[in-house]
Structure 1
Amino acid sequence: MYPTQKILLKRLSLEHEQFTFVTEDIRRSEAGERGEDRLLGKLEELRLEGNYHIFSNVGLLLDEWKIQIDCLIVSDRCCMVIESKNMNGNLYFKDEEFYKEVDGIETPFPNPYFQLTRNIRFMKEFLRNVCPTMKVTGAIIMTAKSSRIREKPSNYPIFKLESMIERIYQMHGNGLSEPIDSAKFEEIVSLIERSLSPYVMPPLCEYYRIAPGDLLRGVECPSCGAFGMQRQYSTWKCGKCGVTDRGAHIAAVYEYFQLINTKITIKAFRDFCKIDSKYAASRMLNNMPELQAFGKANRRYFKLKDKL
């Protein structure tokens, strides 16, 4: 998600009330991705007996109930939900509370234990019709090398990355006493593969509750990064560095979809890119082959075509 977040930052002033929050959210996203990479790298050591399959970044939907799981290990004895957290500093788990302490400053966070139990409950329901006897378990893995778990309730399955493989072997050993056969195992794996539902990020103004009018408008220069290129005849010209580019508006259209709305009208396009002529704006949108037009006259709008 963070490349899109960086697009948002480019169009926010440094003084905007959400600028610092979005910046910190990017840092957390990047740290989380690094942690998931370390977790998947560690899983290369795994050698379970029998059949097993590892899924990463799993999105599943059950009616209106949707979940996202960092890692899901399905074996012929159990299903293991693995949630990774890449957090440094001293970590404390006290009953329902979870916080970290760095340089004497305590910062509270949502307790990952409840995310884990919710996802375990989902998987039990998800597998009910295909294999109701399958045991579903899981653990939270702290992936940051500098993290220290100072207080951990005995009933919380929270471990450091270096102990993860052994914990997985333990969970696997505590699964079904008799493994399911290969056909049933393949049926479960196939069901999960068919049901994968990737997370769809809403437009970031909606996600961060930012008014679209707070964004910096204009077409960005692909050479120097300045906003406010001017449309001259059939091309764009940067007033700062002088570079010209016929298709500079295309990136702005994609940014509009990511930041404001999944559909764009000619009026909205003119406003976002600061285009005077509605005829030129209409021509530019109609000449983008990746867009599909809907409606007529004043109700006409454009969306990205569905990928095949």
Structure 2
Amino acid sequence: MIRTLDGKEEGFPSPLIQIRRQQSHLENWLENHKFPRIPCQSFVVISSPSTIIKAPKSLKSQILHSANIPYKLGVLEKKFKEQLLTKPTLKKLSKTLMEKHTEEDVDLFAKYNISKNDILTGVQCPGCGQFPAKRTQGFWRCSFCKHKAKDAHLRTLEEYKYLFGNKISNQQLRSFLHISSRTSATKFFSTLNYVHEGRTKDRVYFIP
């Protein structure tokens, strides 16, 4: 796969090799968990509509723009008409996939070679994207575009969770959301209704 940017060509690993490996892993997983053999089809889907796809005719059927997904699914429905899995087996397969799924635990600071001091703190304005919006009278107000939002903090706390983990203290909340006082932060936690542990001074809350 080749990307041309500013007159420079750069090569990337073939996505076709990746999907064949993933297809093989899925087929082996199904077999190892005693599910019936079913047809597995793999495709490379390009999300950007401006991407130009150049490939041999034999491979073009496996590479498509995202807008072509509904058409491709229609073709597959016509190709595979026989029902191979009963509803109970489908339900069991779905449940097993969910049970065996594990989230990838990535240290983002190590991966991107950044420190915690590089992170912009505060609630980002959902209107213009500027930092930080200020909490006044139950709303987050942006000093740049004057946009106001009631729940803009929810996304910020979600981002905190992915960066630092799902535990957050009163002091950490104040620092990350730019809340001025401990009392204000305590009242803020009461509106979030997070599960917590510990007594008042060393209490930590769990971001769901």
What is the CA distance between 1:281 and its match in structure 2? 1.5
- CA pair 296-210 structure 1, distance change in 2 beyond 3 A: farther
| Greater Cα shift, 199-208 or 120-129 | 199-208
Partner Cα separation in structure 2 for residue 200 and residue 303 of structure 1:
18
Name the SS for the 1:138 alignment partner: coil
TM-score, length-scaled by structure 2: 0.62
**Greater RCO between the two (CA within 8 Å, min separation 6)?**
1
Shift of residue 240, structure 1, vs aligned partner: 4.9
1:132-171 paired onto structure 2 within 5 Å: 134=37, 137-141=40-44, 146-149=52-55, 159-161=62-64
Structure ranking higher in helix proportion? 2
- Quick check: 1:106 aligned with 2:12? no
**Percent of aligned pairs with the same residue?**
22
Q: 2 CA distance for matches of 1:233 and 1:137?
A: 55
2:62 aligned counterpart, secondary structure = strand
User: Which residue of structure 2 lines up, in the alignment, with residue 264 of structure 1?
Assistant: 168
Equivalents in 2 of 1:251, 1:298: separation in Å?
A: 26
- Normalising to structure 1: TM-score of the pair? 0.46
Inter-CA distance 238–159: structure 2 relative to 1 (3 Å threshold): closer
CA 1:191–1:123 in 2, change beyond 3 Å: closer, same or farther? farther
Give runs of aligned pairs for residues 1-308 of structure 1, distance below 5 A.
99-100=1-2, 102=4, 105-128=8-31, 129-131=33-35, 134=37, 137-141=40-44, 146-149=52-55, 159-161=62-64, 184-197=85-98, 200=103, 205-206=108-109, 208=112, 210-221=114-125, 225-230=129-134, 239-240=143-144, 249-289=153-193, 291-305=194-208
- Unpaired runs of at least 5, structure 2: none
Q: Is the 8 A contact 1:139 1:157 kept in 2?
A: no
In structure 2, C-alpha distance between the alignment counterparts of 1:135 and 1:244, rounded to whole Å: 52
Q: Give distance in 2, aligned partners of 1:105 and 1:224.
A: 33
In structure 2, the CA distance between the partners of 1:251 and 1:102, relative to structure 1 (3 Å rule), is closer
Instruction: Provide Cα deviations, 1:17-47, integer angstroms capped at 9, x if missing partner.
Output: xxxxxxxxxxxxxxxxxxxxxxxxxxxxxxx
Q: Deviations over 1:228-251 (max 9, x none)?
A: 445568776655567777766455
- After TM superposition, give the deviation of residue 272 of structure 1 in Å: 0.9
Q: Deviations over 1:242-298 (max 9, x none)?
A: 777776645533442344432322121111122332222122112223x22223344
Between Structure 1 and Structure 2, the one with more strand by share is 1
Query: Gapped runs of 5+ residues in structure 1?
Result: 1-98, 174-178
Shift of the alpha carbon at 1:147? Answer: 0.7
Is 2:157–2:207's contact at 8 Å kept on the other side of the alignment?
Answer: no
- SS of 1:122's partner is helix
Indicate how the Cα distance of structure 1 residues 241 and 137 shifts in structure 2: closer, same or farther if over 3 A, else same: closer
Contact persistence 1:140–1:157 (CA under 8 A): no
**SS of match in other structure, 1:276:** coil
**In structure 1, what residue type is equivalent to 2:195?**
Q
Cα contact 2:123–2:152 (8 A) shared by 1: yes
Please give the root-mean-square deviation of Cα atoms over the aligned residues, in Å.
Answer: 4.6
> What whole-Å deviation, never above 9, does each CA across 1:107-133 have from its counterpart, x for those lacking one?
22232233233323323333325346x
Q: How far apart are the structure 1 equivalents of 2:135 and 2:45?
A: 51
Amino acid at match of 2:118: D
SS at 1:107's partner residue?
strand
